[in-house]
């Protein structure tokens, strides 16, 4: 009768351990899409980048407007410095009113406006880059949180199974069918599980803190519960993703905008070699017995050639720098996409091996050893060995799944495509 009860208990242990990891947290899960929308609305970095973009959009109007006009009032006194002295006695004394306006060479203001517009385009591209960066960080934190919740469920169930194994090993020892060392070894393994649970709770707290920062939530707000992590298929080919990078990668868009800006700056620098002008008109009035004066002045402002040549040379070098940066970043982003694609593909194969081979086979070995131990045909240390092996495989599978989903999240950031 004792052996029948023992076998039933061991069967329950094996079944419970095989199904472990299904629930690692309590509370209503929050979809990732909801957190991404919240971060887009509330994140402080996104808000700052948006204000910078909005400010930059007001610059073209400023630089394309003519310089401020100048209004002039003159009073020329004759005989003494008092105002209006000699106004009625000398035809040299007068009161003058005039206006003047600087006139840049045609095309200069337009080209300056093009540079300012490109600056605004860059700020808009930088806003997209910040949004993508924040979204990537939210995804990574969310997936890490899902991974930790999953592994906490596995460890909690394993702790429960280990408690039962310790109890059964103790009962086995009391009736003279086991060793005290078996009980002690099981207690050591249980302590290791408790340590892992404690470490993962600490990691959950760290991830929660960073995720709340990204969402601009109060740190004392309720903790976030992630949805259960599942494998997402990798549908696009590597070639398709690499092509998307050229067209939609946020960093490449910033670099391309910088090239456009430097193109406009070079054209503007060359135009600065043209002369500017200024026009002024002055009306001078004396006493009614004298004639009034009317004066029109037109000035040509000649630019210093040395300064202009230096500005053009600087703009040419900055344009070359922008093109080189674009090329370097493009190559880097393409390499990043290829690396993440290889990782996601490899992880997908690993997940298949875990689910179809390693875990089922190890679980079968564990069950077999458990049954043999119940029949006094095997040692308890072998039961512990296979128990720990199955536990580690389940934890490894959860890590590979998290790595796979994280690689897809990074691919989404690099390409701007939706892969999950």
pLDDT in tens, 68-112: 999 999 999 988 888 888 888 888 888 999 999 999 999 999 999
Residue 195 pLDDT > 70: yes
Confidence of residue 18 (pLDDT cuts 50, 70, 90): low
In a domain, 152, yes or no: yes
Per-residue tokens: 348: 């997908």
Residue with the bigger pLDDT between 69 and 363: it is 69
Q: What's the whole-model pTM score?
A: 0.84
Confidence of residue 16 (pLDDT cuts 50, 70, 90): low
Q: What is the mean pLDDT of residues 131-154?
A: 94
In a domain, 276, yes or no: yes
Q: Are 157 and 24 in contact (CB under 8 A)?
A: no
pLDDT at 22: 45
In a domain, 238, yes or no: yes
In a domain, 346, yes or no: yes
Q: What is the mean pLDDT of residues 11-37?
A: 68
Nearest Cα to Cα of residue 388 among 358, 366, 368: 366
In a domain, 234, yes or no: yes
In a domain, 420, yes or no: no
In a domain, 329, yes or no: yes
Q: What is the mean pLDDT of residues 50-59?
A: 95
Query: Rounded to an integer, what distance in angstroms lies between the CA atom of residue 396 and that of residue 354?
Result: 9
pLDDT at 8: 39
Residue 12 pLDDT > 70: no
Query: Rounded to an integer, what distance in angstroms lies between the CA atom of residue 289 and that of residue 197?
Result: 105
% of residues, the chain, pLDDT over 90: 63
Exposed, middle or buried, 141 (CB in 10 Å: 0-12/13-18/19+)?
A: buried
pLDDT at 177: 63
Confidence of residue 23 (pLDDT cuts 50, 70, 90): very low
Q: What is the mean pLDDT of residues 175-193?
A: 77
Task: Give the chain's length.
Answer: 420
Q: Could you give the number of structural domains in the chain? A: 1
pLDDT at 71: 96
Mean pLDDT (the chain, rounded): 88
Nearest Cα to Cα of residue 256 among 203, 327, 304: 327
Which residues, other chains included, contact 135 with Cβ-Cβ below 8 Å and sequence gap of 6+? 36, 39, 40, 413
Q: What is the mean pLDDT of residues 44-57?
A: 95
pLDDT at 369: 84
In a domain, 89, yes or no: yes
pLDDT at 5: 45
What is the residue range of 236's domain?
2-415
Q: What is the pLDDT of residues 227-261, one digit of tens each?
A: 998 998 887 788 888 888 888 889 999 999 999 99
Residue 335 pLDDT > 50: yes
Q: Which CATH number characterizes residue 165's domain? A: 1.20.1600.10
pLDDT at 178: 62
Residue 152 pLDDT > 90: yes
Q: What is the mean pLDDT of residues 192-207?
A: 93
């Amino acid at each position: 009768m004792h052996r029948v009860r023992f076998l039933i208990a061991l069967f329950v242990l094996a079944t419970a351990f095989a199904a472990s990891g299904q629930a690692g947290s309590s509370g209503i899960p929050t979809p990732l899409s909801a957190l991404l929308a919240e971060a887009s609305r509330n994140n402080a970095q996104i808000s700052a980048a948006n204000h910078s973009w909005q400010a930059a959009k007001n610059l073209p109007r400023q630089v394309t407007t003519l310089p401020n006009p100048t209004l002039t009032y003159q009073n020329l006194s004759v005989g003494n410095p008092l105002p209006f002295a000699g106004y009625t006695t000398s035809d040299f004394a007068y009161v003058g009113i005039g206006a003047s306006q600087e006139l840049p060479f045609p095309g200069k203001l337009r080209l300056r406006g093009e540079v300012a517009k490109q600056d605004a385009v860059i700020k808009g591209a930088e806003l997209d880059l910040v949004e993508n960066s924040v979204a990537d960080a939210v995804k990574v934190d969310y997936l890490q949180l899902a991974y930790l919740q999953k592994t906490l469920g596995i460890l909690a169930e394993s702790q429960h199974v280990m408690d039962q194994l310790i109890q059964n090993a103790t009962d086995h020892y009391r009736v003279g069918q086991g060793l005290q060392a078996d009980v002690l070894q099981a207690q050591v393994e249980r302590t290791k599980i408790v340590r892992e649970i404690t470490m993962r709770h600490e990691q959950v707290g760290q991830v929660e803190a960073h995720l709340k920062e990204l969402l601009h939530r109060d740190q004392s707000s309720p903790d976030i519960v992630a949805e259960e992590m599942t494998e997402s298929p990798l549908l696009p080919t590597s070639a398709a993703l690499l092509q998307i990078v050229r067209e939609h990668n946020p960093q490449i868009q910033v670099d391309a905008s910088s090239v456009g800006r430097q193109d406009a700056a070079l054209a503007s620098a060359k135009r600065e070699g043209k002369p500017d002008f200024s026009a002024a008109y002055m009306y001078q009035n004396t006493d009614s017995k004298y004639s009034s004066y009317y004066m029109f002045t037109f000035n040509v402002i000649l630019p210093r050639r040395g300064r202009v040549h230096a500005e053009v040379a600087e703009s040419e070098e900055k344009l070359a720098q922008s093109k080189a940066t674009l090329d370097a970043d493009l190559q880097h982003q393409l390499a990043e996409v290829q690396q993440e694609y290889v990782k996601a593909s490899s992880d997908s194969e690993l997940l298949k091996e875990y689910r179809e081979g390693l875990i089922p086979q190890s679980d079968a070995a564990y069950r077999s050893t458990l049954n043999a131990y119940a029949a006094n045909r095997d040692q308890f240390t072998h039961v512990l060995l296979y128990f720990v092996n199955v536990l580690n495989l389940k934890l490894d599978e959860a890590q590979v799944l998290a790595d796979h989903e994280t690689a897809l999240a990074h691919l989404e950031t690099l390409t701007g495509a939706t892969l999950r």
